[in-house]
A and B are shown apart, each in its own frame.
Chain A
Amino acid sequence: MNSQTEQIRTEARRLLESGEVSVVIGYGPGSTPARATPVFVRSAEDVDRLFWSPACAQNLALYVREQAGRGKVAVVAKGCDARSIATLIQEKQIRREDVHIIGVSCSGVVDPGRLAPAGLDEGTLKSLAAENGGLKADCGDGEVPLEREAVLKRACLFCDTPVPPLSDTLIGEAPPLQPAADQTLPEDLDARREFWAEQFSKCVRCYACRQVCPACYCKECFTDRLPVGWVSKRIAGPENWMYHTTRAFHLAGRCVGCGECERVCPAGIPIQTLMRRMASEVDALFGYRAGMDPDAEPVLATYRDDDEGPAE
């Protein structure tokens, strides 16, 4: 058992035994060592269902919002997840006093969908562990190092908040890592339009990107408002384009870059490339990064007289 698992369980036991929280939302082992699944622990006797590993990909802030109004909850949160929680607090979806954040410093999580293309057979995987910012796996022939670039959730490669900026309990230390330089898109606008047209044409409209996103909490998404007809249900290039670009605008200044949308996309659309671009625009214009401060006003929900307009 790694020390993070031990500390998560100890903290969960304390929180449940003292009655401070009614549920601890964390990760349990999934189908293979490369996968984790969300677990909801409601009794101190069950804390051993919790674990920590580089397979803990999901952003559990999603469930914190769903539990809102049902008393205080505790949640295991990576840097990105904690930023999502901060965003939800800023947007008054949850109250700070209703959530106990068990923050875990993270050096990146694995995207199991990338294992096979990287030549790894997930079925033979015996263990997966993080070590000094690196990864090691045992596929039956002893532990070998894994190339982070090949197997991590892509968004993790660009991560600049491996330590949760907001937490009540903090586990682990900052890993010795630097974020990678972002993928550059074609400068030529027509080429860029062509790139995205091709990507969006692959969309199957399963809405996994929306459903997995803690910031996509509209009670009724514009895509589901058929009588209004913002966008038709037709699964085709222009409609898919409308869906993805509208979602990107709705998440500008709100997306924390956890990359879950991209990880769960069955069509392999590089959604985060778009989201990071939106985030960098907001940062450049307003000097604002989503979810870094739960007390900050949401940048695009406020107005200031001295706001600079867009460059002419």
Chain B
Amino acid sequence: MTTKVPPSEHRCVRLTESDLDKLLPKTALKDWLEWASTRYHLLGPVEAEDGSRSFAAVSADRLPALDNRRQCASPKEAVLPSCETLFTFDPGDGQPRLSPPGGEFAPTLMVGMKPCDVRSLEVLDRVFLDGRFQDPYYAGRRKSLVTVAYVCESKRWSCFCSSVGDPIEWSLAADVALTDVGEAYVATANTPAGEELLGCPAFRDVSADELATRDIVWNALRERAEPFDPEKVAAGVDWEEPAWDAIAEKCIGCGVCSFLCPTCTCFDIQDETIAGGKVERYRVRDTCQFCDFTKMGHGHNPRPSRRERVRQRISHKFKYIVHQCGICGCVGCGRCVELCPVNADLRGVLSEIVSGNGCESVSA
């Protein structure tokens, strides 16, 4: 077990001046993005034809969807792609050569991240930047990323951010946080990069009334709805917990919860022969929910059934990572709640762990 580590400094330079709040009329969002597009590659929530959402390129002509609907895919794809080349190896003619993937990471502005999305980057940072080793692939992408949070105007039925933390505090870790106050957004800059973004002429001065409206939105989002507390979950997580049997019985062992989870970080590393007799080493998303995840070279599998696998995922999120990285691994985004094929609602499992009472789901 490693000791708790302080967050990396590069992302926690907080501003101290008081005039960090500006007003962005909704009609001026376009102008701001136009202005920002000369400095950054822009990403934001975009709706596909079938109604699904993902983070994709946005622009003044293709505005990000700013509302409480969630993107199916999480922002981790921008910093931890599901599949990426680590290096290629060329045996050469007696001159073996190892080449890392070339290229620089373009400065990227991710607009419209939910508070939970912002927090998920903090969790990933703890894993990939703050330990004894920095992951250079992650670090390259992360350090070129500037974030704009959109503070949800309300929670969706599946959200439980305020049960695992303070979504407003999380939003204020983004470079800029936007809060909907009706006809405009109150923009709060939290870092020098954010302050620079608010230098765009599209912003106006904000009134005390507008700030008061913002505070109402903030306080509403902070209200805790779910009957569990992450510390109690961490204390209650036990290997012999009967909740594991109940969830394992219906769990189908797919990778939906972890592949879409914004904080699940596991990957596998594979070597493959590619054209020209070269070898490529790549890493690819993997999950503790797959049966071969812990299968050893000699054939033994220490997590032989779904019971051990679901136990691992939930224990890791709420207990192990807290010890290892000093942060709760769940940000309450609700993706797993909405997308689990068998509706094994995580909140129900957590409530059961805390209370010790059996319950099928939160509403049942």
Contacts and interface: CB of A to CB of B under 8 A. Distances in A.
Do A and B belong to a common assembly?
yes
B223 interface: no
Nearest to B361: A31
Contacts of B69: 116
Interface string A72-116: 000000000000000000000000000000000000000011101
Contact of B249 (A40, A112, A113): A40
A206 B51 contact: no
Interface residues of B, number: 47
A212 B339 CA distance: 13
Nearest to A66: B249
B80 to A, nearest CB: 12
A37 B285 contact: no
Q: For the complex, would chain B's binding face be called helix, strand, loop or mixed by DSSP majority?
A: loop
User: Which among A30, A39, A236 has the highest number of chain B CB atoms within 10 Å?
Assistant: A30
A36 B254 contact: no
Nearest to B348: A31
B281 to A, nearest CB: 11
B277 to A, nearest CB: 17
Interface in B11-69: 48, 50-52, 69
A117 B50 contact: yes
Interface in B261-306: 268, 270, 272, 282, 284-287, 290-292
A234 B254 contact: no
A266 interface: yes
A264 B257 CA distance: 11
A205 interface: yes
Nearest to A123: B157
Contacts of A117: 50-52
Contacts of B284: 233-235
Contacts of A3: none
B256 A38 contact: no
A28 B272 CA distance: 46
B345 A30 contact: yes
B51 to A, nearest CB: 2
Contacts of B291: 224
Contacts of A206: 254-256, 259-260, 287
A122 interface: yes
Interface string B341-364: 111110110000000000011111
Interface size classification for chain A = 35 or more
A311 B360 CA distance: 53
Contact of B157 (A122, A260, A266): A122
Nearest to B82: A235
B252 A235 contact: no
Contacts of A63: 250
Contacts of A112: 338
A171 interface: no
Contacts of B360: 28-29, 37, 39, 49
A31 B362 contact: yes
A205 B292 CA distance: 14
A49 B361 CA distance: 11
Nearest to A261: B341
Contacts of A292: none
A233 B347 CA distance: 32
A137 to B, nearest CB: 14
A266 B361 contact: no
14 contacts: A30-B363, A35-B343, A36-B343, A38-B342, A58-B342, A113-B339, A117-B50, A204-B285, A206-B256, A207-B255, A211-B341, A226-B292, A232-B270, A266-B339
8 closest residue pairs by CB, A with B: A117-B51, A123-B157, A206-B255, A208-B254, A264-B341, A211-B254, A30-B343, A37-B343
Given A63-B250, A204-B255, 17 more contacts: A28-B364, A29-B360, A31-B347, A31-B362, A37-B344, A37-B345, A37-B361, A114-B51, A118-B51, A208-B252, A208-B256, A208-B341, A212-B254, A226-B292, A233-B268, A234-B282, A234-B284
Interface of B: 48, 50-52, 69, 72-73, 82-83, 156-158, 249-250, 252-256, 259-260, 268, 270, 272, 282, 284-287, 290-292, 337-339, 341-345, 347-348, 360-364
